[in-house]
Structure 1
């Protein structure tokens, strides 16, 4: 793989405390000529599932070879592994806690290493609470500058990478069962059911004991009315025209959803 000049960042650090600027500074100290793209920094604190979805939803829109440094890390300083992973469209760098499972469900890992070589960290004795600054951002900068993945640490089996437990999508003759995998800032509910599974059917959604009509977009229903459709990300989504589906339905990450399938 030819080396990249792009690093994409995703964290739950927020923008008021300086943490994002600090990790960008750690990257610039290694190579100030890299292009740094911010995917998101307002992931709900310690919400690995939300980070998993946002990373999975974003990676196909960035250049091949991009290095993704993602830090949603409630286990920082513990025995959880730091990893770097090569996949067909680039590299993933961050904690091994399920954060990369969404990307790897769509594009399998080619090689994975545990980050055990301190020569590519910012300091040999990193902070126990800020691996994003001291390990992940520097490693990402070295990768984006052409360093080989294999020198960063010990090879590990991709099969050993942590997978976040999400409810499996179950398909029967007339139903698709799934769950809410993400809730965006508008209160829209993004399910783990691919639009491909319903596109050729007449379908309706049941969630929180309510039947919800389907449409192509928000504006096909009246204001404050619930609606379901295939979102821009390709997943079945539930929304309220001009409001929050989460607040209206009082649901949360992981809650069950059922889709009824009929003939078109």
Structure 2
């Protein structure tokens, strides 16, 4: 199985071209589209979406991710082995979320053109000419070591989240992602709440915690732990990004409501 995650959209045919490049090498490979609607060049959004998806796939899955504002530059093209399978794409930090939860077992720089679509790849479409073909070869069992020179995983580019800090009143984080519904997903892990009563302070508002969107009246702002495991801010039936003017990187504070 092979997954695709890109910022290509679905208008121009680029996604279909990737699939054609894969099918020409591995015609029986099952391809799953994670998303092709990552905002253009938004590595942080790609990082988040891949982190929250990879664990739901069978062992041995190849994840090809192409959000690559540095295409054609001297940034590395890489393939990385993790316990669950392989990651293929540009070394620009988009894999760093996965690698924080599933440490890399090995990595290579993709400099063996035998496994590219052409020895003279386009300087603007490495997804077609390098990443998709390499992913297809991995799906057929080509050893990682055949794809290029070994790369010390410690040298892979990292895109860490801002640290969540804590004081006696609560947890301080930021908005790390905004999904299709306009939900504001924070950097605060739900596992840190420890069954305490809490709310979220964002801008000049304090929002009550809930277990589900429907726990509050239609149109009300709420905070809850999303299916991804992070604390998120939402509007029941609405768009929190629009109504609360939320932005990626904006500060938010989870406050304890059971303080003496």
* Unaligned stretches of 5+ residues in structure 1: 1-5
Deviates more, 1:176-185 or 1:122-131: 176-185
Contact 1:166–1:254 (CA<8 Å) still a contact in 2?
A: no
Runs of 4 or more consecutive aligned structure 1 residues displaced over 2 Å after TM superposition: 171-174, 261-264
Superposed displacement of residue 263, structure 1: 4.3
**Which digits, 9 at most, give the CA deviation of each residue in 1:145-167, with x for residues without a partner?**
00000111111111111111431
Superposed displacement of residue 209, structure 1: 2.1
Summarize the alignment of residues 128-147 of structure 1 with structure 2, pairs less than 5 Å apart. 128-147=123-142
SS at the partner of 1:109? coil
Equivalence for 1:93: 88
SS at the partner of 1:13? coil
Whole-angstrom CA distance in 1 between matches of 2:146 and 2:256: 51
Equivalence for 1:194: 189
Residue 178 in structure 1 maps to residue 173 in structure 2 = yes
One of 52, 56, 60 as aligned partner of 1:57: 52
TM-score of the pair, normalised by structure 2 = 0.97
One of 9, 15, 35 as aligned partner of 1:14: 9
Superposed displacement of residue 173, structure 1: 3.4
* Unaligned stretches of 5+ residues in structure 2: none
Residue 106 in structure 1 maps to residue 105 in structure 2 = no
SS at the partner of 2:214? helix
Contact 2:96–2:160 (CA<8 Å) still a contact in 1?
A: no
Superposed displacement of residue 178, structure 1: 1.2
Summarize the alignment of residues 156-167 of structure 1 with structure 2, pairs less than 5 Å apart. 156-167=151-162
Aligned length: 259
TM-score of the pair, normalised by structure 1 = 0.95
One of 31, 34, 37 as aligned partner of 2:29: 34
SS at the partner of 2:79? strand
Whole-angstrom CA distance in 2 between matches of 1:262 and 1:64: 42
Contact 1:113–1:156 (CA<8 Å) still a contact in 2?
A: yes
Deviates more, 1:203-212 or 1:13-22: 203-212
Whole-angstrom CA distance in 2 between matches of 1:165 and 1:87: 18
Contact 1:122–1:133 (CA<8 Å) still a contact in 2?
A: yes
Whole-angstrom CA distance in 1 between matches of 2:2 and 2:13: 19
Structural RMSD (CA):
1.2
Equivalence for 1:151: 146
